Homo-oligomer: A and B are copies of this chain.
Amino acid sequence: MTSTESLTISELSACCTPIARAPMDATSAERLARSLKALADPARLRLLSIVASHEDAEACVCDLTEPLGLSQPTVSHHLKVLVDAGYLNRDKRGTWAYYSLTPNALDSVSGLLSNL
């Protein structure tokens, strides 16, 4: 029956406690890790915070470059990462690009963390 390794498991519980519920599978872990990696940078956290602290949760790049003390290409790069990860929306109106928070994006990832 090609069962070459069926019975060796019963003796492995020497040092370990039993499992209560199923742990996270590999692909879910990969997805969540990608979402978290997009957040795990001080510049990007401050970008999100600055956008969130605007009255209508919207801000343009010119408003974001100076308070971070980073160059404009770097800020643009971080904004792209946040948009690709689904945390920000980009809306180009005329010459300026306005970034706004995606509703519930942060809440959903923090919810995933709470019940790991």
Contact = CB atoms under 8 A, between A and B. Distances in A.
A22 B17 CA distance: 47
Copies of this chain, tallied across the complex = 2
B19 A53 contact: yes
How many chain A residues sit at the interface, stated as a range, is 35 or more
A10 to B, nearest CB: 15
A37 B33 CA distance: 9
A59 to B, nearest CB: 6
Interface of A: 15-24, 26, 29-30, 32-33, 36-37, 39-46, 48-50, 52-56, 58-60, 62-63, 67, 96, 106-107, 109-111, 113-114, 116
26 contacts: A16-B54, A16-B62, A17-B54, A17-B58, A18-B54, A18-B55, A19-B53, A19-B54, A19-B55, A20-B54, A22-B53, A23-B46, A23-B50, A24-B46, A26-B42, A29-B43, A29-B45, A29-B49, A32-B42, A33-B44, A37-B40, A39-B40, A40-B40, A106-B116, A110-B110, A110-B114
